[in-house]
Structure 1
């Protein structure tokens, strides 16, 4: 049951991004949660996450995520790690931009029977020197595009 709740937490986070809803995104974090972006930006705390993500959304139309959860591990009944692969489809496009492929890791904690993101990390998946791995990654995500 908690596996499904963790998948939903990740899905809700990316749907909030796709809908450019910084308030919803931030609400999924613990009060002191942290977010590390694709470019290395570090946002600490729910308020900063909301403020900084709002700036991104106010600045330009963002690409939308396509994702696939690859792994979940429970470190304790109330602490888990979720790992997913993600791609992004730029505005006005229909295909994933391989340059934006990433591996996302969430460390989640269960508070009052609700799973929250304590740490979200979005790491570029470029596979330097291994183009076949980058191609396979894009191919796997492209199969999810409708």
Structure 2
């Protein structure tokens, strides 16, 4: 189980690193040919698109059965030094045979729950200070 958890978290970290590096080829290589990708706006993406700019940081909340990751994510837009709460998201990633078969990015709006929005950023901000992509 530990090995499988390390594998899926490694795939997820490589995805974040590819995004942060603007490397669409490296990101695409992590996905199965028939992967389902649901973007931040809810649209189903045909193929992998590298998000436009910014630095992504994430913290894994849980790994299920060594194949599904649930993580919170934040983005520091280009030219900024702080996370933009409007870009906070929750990622769900399912990996089979070393490839991503499902990736879903859900906006983390925390309607009427400002405590959760503040907690989201508070958990991710230390990653910016250490330079880690994934905590």
When normalised by structure 1's length, the TM-score is 0.82
Where 1:122 maps in the other structure, the secondary structure is strand
Tell me what 1:68 maps to.
Answer: 59
Of Structure 1 and Structure 2, the greater strand share is in 1
Which of structure 1's runs of 4+ aligned residues deviate more than 3 A?
Answer: none
Deviation at 1:91, TM superposition (A): 0.5
* Structure 2 runs not aligned, ≥5 long: 130-135
Deviation at 1:17, TM superposition (A): 0.5
Tell me what 2:73 maps to.
Answer: 86
RMSD: 1.4
Tell me what 2:8 maps to.
Answer: 6
Q: For residues 70 and 37 of structure 1, what CA distance do their matches in structure 2 show?
A: 20
Contact 2:5 2:67 in 1 (8 A): no
| Structure number, greater radius of gyration | 1
2:96 is equivalent to residue 109 of structure 1:
yes
Matched length = 127
Q: For residues 41 and 25 of structure 1, what CA distance do their matches in structure 2 show?
A: 18
Higher relative contact order (CA 8 A, sep 6+): 2
Q: For residues 37 and 18 of structure 1, what CA distance do their matches in structure 2 show?
A: 16
Q: For residues 119 and 60 of structure 2, what CA distance do their matches in structure 1 show?
A: 16
Tell me what 1:143 maps to.
Answer: 126
* Structure 1 runs not aligned, ≥5 long: none
